[in-house]
Copies of this chain bind each other. A is one copy, B any other.
Amino acid sequence: MTPDEFRVAGHDLIEWIADYLERVEDLPVLSQVEPGEVRAQLPPAPPEQGEAFEAILADLDRVIVPGLTHWQSPNFFAYFPANASPPSILGELLSAGLGVQGMLWASSPACTELETLMLDWMVDALGLPDRFRSGGAGGGVIQDSASSATLCAVLAARDRARRGGAGLADLRAYASEHAHSSLAKAIRIAGLQDDQLRLVATDGEHALRPDELDRAIEADREAGLVPFLVLATVGTTSSTAIDPVSAVAACIGPDVWLHVDSAFAGVAAVCEELRSVNDGLDQADSYVVNVHKWLLTNFDASLLYVADAQPLIAALGILPEYLRNAATDSGEVIDYRDWQVPLGRRFRALKLWFVLRSYGLEGLRAHIRRHVGLAHELAGWITEHPDFEVVGPVPLSLVCFRHTGGDEANQAIMDRVNRSGAVYLTHTRLDDQVVLRLAIGARTTERRHVEAAWTAITDAAPRG
């Protein structure tokens, strides 16, 4: 592909994407293909000779698009959103076009410095505690996912406890039974057994009970075990339940690492009236929030903040000879490779820079407020319906609800609605019952889409 061919192909693809974003609303949001159907339409082996870009673009329409579940559709209400905005798409394009590596400050200084600045901008944007700002002991880093960020917190906490003399087998971690599965995965990756993670009971709103946490920690301490990590979730995946972070912090000592997982909910703090999602963060050792879920920045961009970077760097820092350089030796720069599992890293800060500058804080607040408002409207409609009920509080933009006809009825409603291609929502289990989750958060979701989804759901319900 010559430079001129790149220009032509690039312009074609920009138009294709712009068209896609305009027409995605009309595509079946949940892909209707069967396993193997996509692959069967493509050649089994790579071509010997190069092909023209038009041929690839044609296969994109013919084969790939029907095999997609459209996360950018305004009718996507499943899981949590992963909204990619036009500025963030361009930020990712630029990152690919520059093709620099940010493993070391020296390997491309702007990649590191813009990242540090963006993390500090987000401290301002979300009203986070100053301990997470760069320039002191703490700071932030962009990771690929909250899973990886939580793993890093677990590793930092684990190694701090081991340096304090604890044996690996004696370590115990704690979280609510609704903590994200990535914590259990991180515990396992870190070499601990599954039962070294204590799942603490929750209250009627599915938030961690500090009294139960306190009891579990005390019992373990009395048994000679070493509590080393507590994870508090602000906005659980199942129901956006909010663990009481301050109360959690109050029942653990400074020897226990407090990690706050606010992967989905944390960005709500751009709005002053939702800033209670930050309660207790001034006592957290680490904090993760994804801008790639609800804040218009395309996946992947998960922000990990630490109050003190040293335990993180102690856990992850390794300096082979071929990476030594004068800037690293000077101690004046951040080498983000020591803040994450992989060595290599893309220039992810660009897309966050593009988003923050294109929307401004005003634009981001309007985006969040619209979804929260729609969720409350929907919750009102559900409450008014004789056969449906809202399950738990609706603190943000996820509405959990169910038909009163039982698990099978709810599963049937979901399957029917999803198969139609008009709406996509997912489920969870709360209090051992199937519960439907409708997560509002796509960039272009308006009131009419939520209305249509609610109509589709009620139409799919068994007749009373």
**A185 and B316 contact, Cβ closer than 8 Å, known pairs A11-B11, A94-B60:** yes
**A342 and B145 contact, Cβ closer than 8 Å, known pairs A46-B124, A82-B101, A357-B50:** yes
Interchain CA distance A159-B343 in the complex, whole Å: 24
* Binary contact readout A351-368 vs B (1 if CB under 8 angstroms, 0 otherwise): 101101111111100000
**A393 touches B (CB below 8 Å):** no
Among the 9-residue stretches A212-220, A248-256, A421-429, A451-459, the one with 4 or more Cβ atoms under 8 Å from chain B is A421-429
Oligomeric state, in copies: 2
* Residue ID in chain B nearest A351 by CB atoms: B96
Interchain CA distance A117-B47 in the complex, whole Å: 13
Query: In the complex the two chains form, is A51's CB within 8 Å of B343's CB?
Result: no
Interchain CA distance A192-B189 in the complex, whole Å: 11
Report B-chain residues with C-beta under 8 Å of the C-beta of A342. Answer: 144-145, 147-148, 182, 300
Query: In the complex the two chains form, is B144's CB within 8 Å of A344's CB?
Result: yes
**A20 touches B (CB below 8 Å):** yes
Interchain CA distance A122-B84 in the complex, whole Å: 30
- Quote the shortest CB–CB distance from A354 to chain B (angstroms): 6
Report B-chain residues with C-beta under 8 Å of the C-beta of A63. Answer: 110
**A321 and B92 contact, Cβ closer than 8 Å, known pairs A10-B18, A99-B83, A168-B168:** no
Q: Among the listed B11, B55, B351, which residue makes an inter-chain contact with A14, where contact means beta carbons less than 8 Å apart?
A: B11
* Residue ID in chain B nearest A38 by CB atoms: B113
* Residue ID in chain B nearest A189 by CB atoms: B155
Query: In the complex the two chains form, is B13's CB within 8 Å of A90's CB?
Result: yes
Q: Among the listed B22, B96, B113, B300, which residue makes an inter-chain contact with A344, where contact means beta carbons less than 8 Å apart?
A: B300
Interface size class of A (residues with CB under 8 A): 35 or more
**A269 touches B (CB below 8 Å):** no
**A448 touches B (CB below 8 Å):** no
Which residues A117-149 have CB closer than 8 A to chain B? 117, 120-122, 124-125, 144-148
**A191 touches B (CB below 8 Å):** yes
**A53 touches B (CB below 8 Å):** yes
Q: Among the listed B56, B92, B354, which residue makes an inter-chain contact with A353, where contact means beta carbons less than 8 Å apart?
A: B56
Query: In the complex the two chains form, is B17's CB within 8 Å of A94's CB?
Result: yes
Query: In the complex the two chains form, is B96's CB within 8 Å of A64's CB?
Result: no
**A381 touches B (CB below 8 Å):** no
Q: Among the listed B5, B31, B357, B426, which residue makes an inter-chain contact with A51, where contact means beta carbons less than 8 Å apart?
A: B357
* Binary contact readout A228-247 vs B (1 if CB under 8 angstroms, 0 otherwise): 00000000011000000000
Q: Among the listed B47, B60, B68, B322, which residue makes an inter-chain contact with A108, where contact means beta carbons less than 8 Å apart?
A: B68
Q: Among the listed B99, B192, B359, which residue makes an inter-chain contact with A299, where contact means beta carbons less than 8 Å apart?
A: B99
* Residue ID in chain B nearest A270 by CB atoms: B46
Among the 9-residue stretches A201-209, A275-283, A325-333, A384-392, the one with 4 or more Cβ atoms under 8 Å from chain B is A325-333
Report B-chain residues with C-beta under 8 Å of the C-beta of A70. Answer: 100
- Quote the shortest CB–CB distance from A272 to chain B (angstroms): 13
Report B-chain residues with C-beta under 8 Å of the C-beta of A36. Answer: 113, 332
**A315 touches B (CB below 8 Å):** yes
Report B-chain residues with C-beta under 8 Å of the C-beta of A113. Answer: 36-39, 67
Which residues A416-436 have CB closer than 8 A to chain B? 426-429
**A396 touches B (CB below 8 Å):** no
Interchain CA distance A191-B186 in the complex, whole Å: 11
**A87 touches B (CB below 8 Å):** yes
**A108 and B31 contact, Cβ closer than 8 Å, known pairs A39-B113, A188-B315:** yes
**A35 touches B (CB below 8 Å):** yes
Interchain CA distance A71-B5 in the complex, whole Å: 22
Which residues A38-68 have CB closer than 8 A to chain B? 38-39, 42, 44-51, 53, 55-56, 60, 63-68
Q: Among the listed B148, B151, B322, which residue makes an inter-chain contact with A79, where contact means beta carbons less than 8 Å apart?
A: B322
Interchain CA distance A109-B32 in the complex, whole Å: 9
Closest 8 A-B residue pairs measured CB to CB?
A191-B191, A67-B110, A84-B99, A10-B14, A17-B97, A92-B96, A145-B342, A6-B86
Task: Sample 20 A-B pairs with CB under 8 A, ordered by A number.
Answer: A1-B86, A3-B18, A6-B14, A10-B86, A10-B89, A13-B97, A21-B97, A31-B109, A31-B110, A37-B113, A38-B114, A39-B117, A46-B361, A48-B362, A50-B363, A56-B357, A64-B350, A67-B110, A72-B98, A147-B342
